[in-house]
């Protein structure tokens, strides 16, 4: 008998889970910086174009694949054509790599909730982060454990394993249904507190002041598309997997617009919160906003600690900020793991708990071994940079070419999606997904490849970039091809295409 794959009990749970995946660290620590660098208020133009021309159309394609084929990424691709199964496994492998380091960032954020009370970073948050806390040594690879990272990582993995074992509805779905409203309240409170800080207005002015000249820079347009792809979690299996758990008669097209705009709404909110706080930091340290602007690890673990130390009710601000990172990141971590568990269940016809343990226990061990040691942060930085480009972007391009040009299924998908939606996916969508989006992604990839080859990322030694960067991205592709070799028992499409 076929396994019970699990499903979301209704459309709202699915939408919450999809928003839970989309809203992640990228919204909070990546978007504000990308918008600021990309022309501030003028960035709204490339950003909206990227959302409507590539982001939502690609989200719709993922939904169409998962919802019509009703399988994990590898099973869905195998049902479309047996030779395409490797794309699904490639996506699975990419998700494995990302999950390994995502858990580490969650662990740091959890620790910093506590540090917000004690202000453990003293008056040099940067020295504290890399020295006292992570115990990194430049150029040295050390496999010595850092207990302050190891312990929270073990806890994060334990909680994650329990949630994943609970299944699609009670684990994955319920987590987002609870976490996303809590996140909205916590982050909303943070925005209110940040807006009341002296200097907040200067921060907002720097973020929103439009630099129209930026619109003439192709790099700004590329960064808008890059942000949208990463931010919507499209093209690497997550949305295929989630859509496969949705009832057949649910309006998927409408859902895609809800998820797309909810994610962007949260990015705007994050921009306001982050830049209000940066405006305060600039004023408190007598610097210009431009001198304190940062993103990613630097924003969260260097700039924010400085803000927390100097702001009135700083501990509260810190708890709200780091708790938001944990809440947003956790639902994203759950979504990438679901891609892996779902694939293993479909392929081996395993029960939920058995598959969860078989997947997550080895991953937890590798994740902790790699990222709770003194070199963890360097490996993480390199793997993140490469997998986002030569993993996510590349597999999205290959999938679009395979579906749009190889098996020419996009018009059929348009019909499938329009069956239960008031929004019709017409020729406009087919043209976008078949021609426009792949060309844009291909252009970005070429540009990224030239950069990565000519400028060694962050000046890291070539062997490190080779192993943890190109190596990790390449290994994901090789793993995908190898995992697709054993054949499925059951891969017939669930709905015969009407034109075949
Ligand atoms: N979409 C998430 C964000 O914007 C990022 C993410 C990456 C989610 C990988 C899941 C997996 O932060
Ligand atoms: Na996002």
Any ligand 1 atom below 6 A from CB of 110: no
The region of weakest confidence among 193-197, 325-329, 371-375 is: 371-375
Residue 500 has pLDDT above 60, yes or no: no
Q: Do 425 and 253 form a contact (C-beta atoms < 8 A)?
A: yes
Note the ligand closest to the C-alpha atom of 335. Answer: 1
- Report residue 2's pLDDT band, with 50, 70 and 90 as the boundaries: confident
Q: What mean pLDDT comes out for the span 271-299?
A: 97
Any ligand 1 atom below 6 A from CB of 264: no
Any ligand 1 atom below 6 A from CB of 26: yes
Q: What mean pLDDT comes out for the span 267-274?
A: 98
Going by alpha carbons, the residue nearest to atom 8 of ligand 1 is: 332
Residue 324 has pLDDT above 60, yes or no: yes
DSSP bridge pairs for 373 = 145
pLDDT, position 376 = 87
Residue 489 has pLDDT above 90, yes or no: no
Q: Do 64 and 419 form a contact (C-beta atoms < 8 A)?
A: no
Any ligand 1 atom below 6 A from CB of 328: no
Atom of ligand 1 nearest to the CA of 232: 1
- The string of pLDDT tens digits covering residues 354-375 is 999 999 999 999 999 999 998 8
- What DSSP letter does each residue of 311-326 carry, written as one string? STTHHHHHHHHHHHHH
- Report residue 499's pLDDT band, with 50, 70 and 90 as the boundaries: very low
Note the ligand closest to the C-alpha atom of 336. Answer: 1
Percent composition of the chain: helix, strand, coil (DSSP 3-state, to 5) = 80, 0, 20
- What DSSP letter does each residue of 82-150 carry, written as one string? GGGHHHHHHHHHHHHHHHHHHHHHHHHHHHHHHHHHHTTTTT-HHHIIIIIIT---TT-----B-HHHH
Any ligand 1 atom below 6 A from CB of 25: yes
Could you give the CA distance from residue 471 to residue 493 in angstroms, rounded to a whole number? Answer: 35
Pairwise pLDDT comparison (144 vs 273), residue with the higher score? 273
- The string of pLDDT tens digits covering residues 196-216 is 999 999 999 999 999 999 999
Interface confidence, given as ipTM, is: 0.97
How far does the centroid of ligand 2 lie from the alpha carbon of residue 230, in Å? 7
Give Rg (Cα) of the chain.
22
Percent of the chain with pLDDT over 70: 97
Residue 427 has pLDDT above 70, yes or no: yes
- The token pair at 220 is 């700004």
- Report residue 494's pLDDT band, with 50, 70 and 90 as the boundaries: low
pLDDT, position 157 = 98
pLDDT, position 491 = 62
Could you give the CA distance from residue 372 to residue 99 in angstroms, rounded to a whole number? Answer: 14
Any ligand 1 atom below 6 A from CB of 325: no
Q: Do 289 and 300 form a contact (C-beta atoms < 8 A)?
A: no
Residue 498 has pLDDT above 80, yes or no: no
Give kind and range of the element (H or E) at residue 350.
none
Q: DSSP letter at 84?
A: G
Q: What mean pLDDT comes out for the span 267-277?
A: 98
Three-class SS state of 373 = strand
Could you give the CA distance from residue 457 to residue 453 in angstroms, rounded to a whole number? Answer: 9
How far does the centroid of ligand 2 lie from the alpha carbon of residue 27, in Å? 5
Measured from the Cβ of residue 405, the count of other Cβ atoms closer than 10 Å reads 12
How far does the centroid of ligand 1 lie from the alpha carbon of residue 199, in Å? 31
pLDDT, position 393 = 92
- Report residue 137's pLDDT band, with 50, 70 and 90 as the boundaries: confident
- The token pair at 3 is 């396994």
Residue 496 has pLDDT above 70, yes or no: no
Q: Do 38 and 214 form a contact (C-beta atoms < 8 A)?
A: yes
- The token pair at 483 is 């995992």
Any ligand 1 atom below 6 A from CB of 263: no
How far does the centroid of ligand 2 lie from the alpha carbon of residue 307, in Å? 24
- The string of pLDDT tens digits covering residues 440-488 is 999 999 999 999 999 999 999 999 999 999 999 999 999 999 999 998 7
pLDDT, position 487 = 85
Burial tier of 55 (Cβ tally within 10 Å: 0-12, 13-18, 19+): buried
pLDDT, position 3 = 84
Q: Give the CA angle between residues 115, 119, 124 to the nearest 5°.
A: 115
Residue 1 has pLDDT above 70, yes or no: no
- Report residue 497's pLDDT band, with 50, 70 and 90 as the boundaries: very low
Report yes or no on whether pTM surpasses 0.90. yes
Any ligand 1 atom below 6 A from CB of 336: yes
């Amino acid at each position: 008998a076929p396994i019970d794959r699990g499903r979301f009990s209704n459309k709202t749970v699915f939408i919450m889970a999809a928003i839970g995946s989309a809203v992640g660290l990228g919204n909070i620590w990546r978007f504000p910086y990308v918008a600021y660098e990309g022309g501030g208020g003028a960035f709204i133009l490339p950003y909206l174009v990227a959302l409507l021309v590539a982001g939502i159309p690609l989200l719709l394609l993922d939904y169409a694949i998962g919802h019509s084929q009703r399988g994990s990424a590898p099973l869905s691709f195998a049902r479309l054509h047996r030779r395409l199964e490797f794309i699904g496994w490639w996506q699975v492998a990419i998700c494995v790599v990302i999950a390994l380091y995502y858990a580490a960032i969650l662990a740091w954020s959890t620790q910093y909730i506590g540090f917000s009370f004690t202000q453990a970073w003293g008056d040099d948050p940067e020295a504290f982060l890399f020295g006292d806390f992570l115990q990194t040594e430049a150029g040295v690879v050390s496999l010595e454990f850092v207990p302050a990272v190891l312990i929270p990582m073990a806890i994060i993995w334990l909680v994650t394993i329990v949630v994943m074992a609970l299944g699609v509805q009670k684990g994955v779905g319920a987590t987002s249904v609870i976490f996303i409203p809590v996140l909205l309240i916590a982050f909303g409170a943070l925005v209110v507190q940040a807006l009341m800080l002296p200097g907040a207005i200067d921060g907002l002015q720097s973020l929103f002041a439009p630099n129209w000249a930026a619109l003439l820079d192709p790099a700004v347009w590329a960064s808008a598309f890059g942000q949208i792809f990463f931010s919507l979690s499209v093209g690497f299996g997550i949305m295929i997997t989630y859509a496969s758990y949705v009832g057949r008669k649910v309006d998927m097209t409408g859902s895609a617009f809800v998820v797309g705009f909810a994610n962007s709404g949260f990015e705007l909110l994050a921009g306001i919160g982050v830049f209000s706080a940066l405006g305060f930091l600039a004023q408190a340290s007598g610097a210009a906003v431009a001198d304190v602007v940062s993103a990613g690890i630097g924003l969260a673990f260097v700039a924010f600690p400085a803000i927390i130390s100097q702001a009135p009710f700083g501990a509260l601000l810190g708890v709200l900020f780091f708790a938001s990172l944990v809440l947003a990141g956790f639902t994203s971590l759950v979504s990438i793991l679901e891609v892996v568990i779902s694939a293993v269940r479909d392929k081996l016809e395993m029960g939920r708990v058995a598959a969860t343990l078989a997947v997550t226990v080895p991953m937890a061990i590798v994740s902790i071994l790699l990222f709770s040691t003194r070199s963890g942060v360097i490996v993480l930085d390199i793997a993140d940079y490469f997998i986002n480009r030569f993993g996510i972007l590349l597999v999205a391009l290959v999938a679009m070419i395979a579906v749009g040009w190889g098996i020419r299924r996009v018009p059929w998908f348009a019909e499938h999606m329009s069956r239960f939606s008031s929004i019709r996916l017409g020729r406009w969508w087919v043209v976008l997904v078949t021609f426009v989006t792949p060309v844009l992604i291909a252009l970005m990839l070429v540009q990224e490849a030239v950069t990565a080859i000519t400028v060694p990322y962050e000046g890291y030694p070539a062997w490190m970039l080779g192993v943890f960067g190109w190596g990790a991205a390449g290994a994901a592709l090789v793993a995908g091809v190898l995992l697709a070799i054993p054949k499925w028992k059951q891969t017939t499409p669930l709905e015969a295409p009407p034109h075949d």
